[in-house]
Chains A and B, each alone.
Chain A
Amino acid sequence: MSQDEILTKVKKIVAEQLEAEEEKVAPESHFVNDLGADSLDTVELVMALEEEFDIEIPDEAAEGITTVREAVNYITEKSASVA
C-alpha cells in the first residue's frame, strides 16, 4: 500500500470516528485540537486503525499519534517492517 493510499484510508477513518467532514481532515489535522477528540475518542480511533490495517499499536506508540500525518507515518513504517 502506498503512503497516499494509507493517507486516504486514515482520513476516511478519522472522519468517520470523529464525525468530521472528510474534506476538513487534512494531513496536519490534530485529533484533539482541530477535530475535537477527547482521550476516549483517541483510544477508539487507534483501535479502528489497528483493525483497518491489521496491525497492533502499543500504548506507548499510540500516545505519539496525535495527528493524521503521525498516524500515516506510523502505519507506513509498521507495514514496511511487516512486509
Chain B
Amino acid sequence: MKIVTNFKSKRVVVTGVGAVTPVGNTPEEYWAGLLAGRNGIGPITLFDASKHACRIAGEVKQFDPHQYMERKEAKRMARFAQFSVAASHQALADAKFVINDLNAEQVGTIVGTGTGGLDVMEAQHEVYLTRGPSRCSPFTVQMMIANMAAGLTAIHTGAKGPNSCPVTACAAGSNAVGDAFRLIQRGYAQAMICGGAEAAVTPLSLAGFASAKAVSTRNDDPARACRPFDLDRNGFVMGEGAGILLLEELEHALSRGAKIYAEIVGYGMTCDAYHITSPVPGGTGATRAIELALKDAGIEPERVDYINAHGTSTPANDKTETLAIKKALGEKNARDLAISSTKSMTGHLLGGSGGIEAVATVLAILNDRMPPTINLETPDPECDLDYISNGSRAKTVNVALSNSFGFGGHNVTLVFQKYA
C-alpha cells in the first residue's frame, strides 16, 4: 500500500513530559519506579470491592489535585480530567513552554480516554435512583463526558489551537499522540499537548471487565497479578492516571533552545474489523499497524532497538502481539531487539496507557535505558522474544516503538527516534 504524502512535512519533537501513574505522580518518580521494577498494583481502596471478583488495581496514590488547580475547580472535575490537567501542567513546566496571547492559537490539545468520567456517572446514577432526577448535579454531564480532559486541559493551559479526544478504548492515548503529530507535521499547530487519561477503577467498570473475564482475579497476590508474556497470566489489571507529551515543531523548539527528548517519526493505525474484544487470529491488524508506522517513519525493521509493548497480560494479547512483532519486523529482527511491558508495573490504564507508555518510550531513548517486564517467571512458549525480564537494561536506544491495541479492534503503533 502506498501512503500519499503530498504536503511538505515538518519535523516534530518531544520537548516535555508529564505523568501521573500508579508508580509515581511525576515523570521523575514514574521513570525511577519503572527502572526499579516497582509494582504499582494493590488492593482497591477507591471503593468497597469486597463483593467483586476482581479486587485489585493500580491506583494513583496520594494525588493532590490542589497542587494543580483551585479547590472549586477540582470539585467540578472528574478524576480522569484532574489527571490530565496535572500531567499537562507538568509537561509544559518541564518544556519551559509558556502559552501566551501570541502563541495560544498555535498550541492545541488532544487527550484520549477510554471511559471518561465513569466515576461521576456512577455516583450520579446512584443519586438518580435513590433520590430522584431533581437531585442530580447540574455538573453531571459536563464532568462525565469523555472530551472533558481535552477541554479542561485547554481551559487550564490556555491552548486555543486544535482540540479533540479520540475514544478508541485502550488505543486512545496513542491515537492522541499520533493525531497531534500529524497536525504539527502539516503545519496546523506549532505545539500540541497530547496523551491519554483514565480513571476507570470504579464498581461498574470492574464488574463489567470481570464478567467479560478480561481482568486478573489473583486478589491474594496483587504484586504478581499482572504478568505479561508469562504462562500463568490470567488477565489484565486495571490502572489509572495520565501521560502527556508536549510535541513541538522542530524549528520552533530549536528557536527557543528547548531540551529535546526524542523525535516522533511514525504513526500507523489499523482496525482488525473482526471482533469487539478478541484480536484477529494471526495478529494481522497489529502487524499492519507496525508496518505502516515504520513505513511512515521511513525506518527499516532492523533499526528498531526497543518496543514498549501493549503487553496487557491477557492470554490473547501477549501471544498475538508477539506474533505481530515477528511478522512485521521479521523473525531475526524481532529476536535481536528488546521488548518490555511496563503494564506489569502500572497495570492497564486503558485510554491512558498510550500516554504513559509514550512517556516511557521517549525516556528510554533519552536515557539509553529500557524498563523491565516484571513478574515474567515462566515464559509462555508462544511468547519467546526478549522481554527484559531481569531488571532494566542499558543499551543505546536509537529507534523505539510503542504499541497500543483497543477493544473494537483498534491497533496503533508510534515510532520515536533519537533526535540528531
A contact set with B: CB distance below 8 Å: 18-19, 36, 40, 43-44, 47, 51
Contacts and interface: CB of A to CB of B under 8 A. Distances in A.
Contact of B135 (A18, A43, A47): A47
Contact of B138 (A18, A36, A40, A51): A40
B256 interface: no
B274 interface: no
Contacts, number: 18
A47 B136 CA distance: 9
B139 A40 contact: yes
Nearest to B70: A19
B51 interface: no
B138 A44 contact: yes
A44 B143 CA distance: 14
B211 interface: no
A76 B70 CA distance: 33
A40 B135 CA distance: 14
Nearest to B73: A19
Nearest to B72: A19
Contacts of B75: 19
A24 to B, nearest CB: 14
Interface residues of B, number: 10
Contact of B137 (A18, A36, A44): A44
**5 tightest A-B contacts by CB?**
A19-B72, A43-B138, A19-B71, A40-B138, A44-B138
Query: In this complex, which of A18, A19, A36, A51 has the most chain B Cβ atoms within 10 angstroms of its Cβ?
Result: A19
Contacts of A40: 138-139, 142
A51 B72 CA distance: 20
Contacts of A19: 70-72, 75
Interface in B131-188: 134-135, 137-139, 142
B83 to A, nearest CB: 21
Contacts of B72: 18-19, 36
Contacts of B137: 44, 47
Nearest to B135: A47
B349 to A, nearest CB: 29
Nearest to A18: B72
A36 B71 CA distance: 13
A51 B142 CA distance: 22
A64 to B, nearest CB: 18
A47 B71 CA distance: 20
Contacts of A43: 138
Nearest to A36: B72
B181 to A, nearest CB: 35
Interface in B115-142: 134-135, 137-139, 142
Interface string B290-303: 00000000000000
Contacts of A47: 134-135, 137-138
A82 to B, nearest CB: 19
Query: In this complex, which of B72, B75, B137, B142 has the most chain A Cβ atoms within 10 angstroms of its Cβ?
Result: B72
Nearest to A40: B138
A19 B69 CA distance: 13
A77 B139 CA distance: 29
A36 B70 CA distance: 12
A46 to B, nearest CB: 10
A51 B138 CA distance: 15
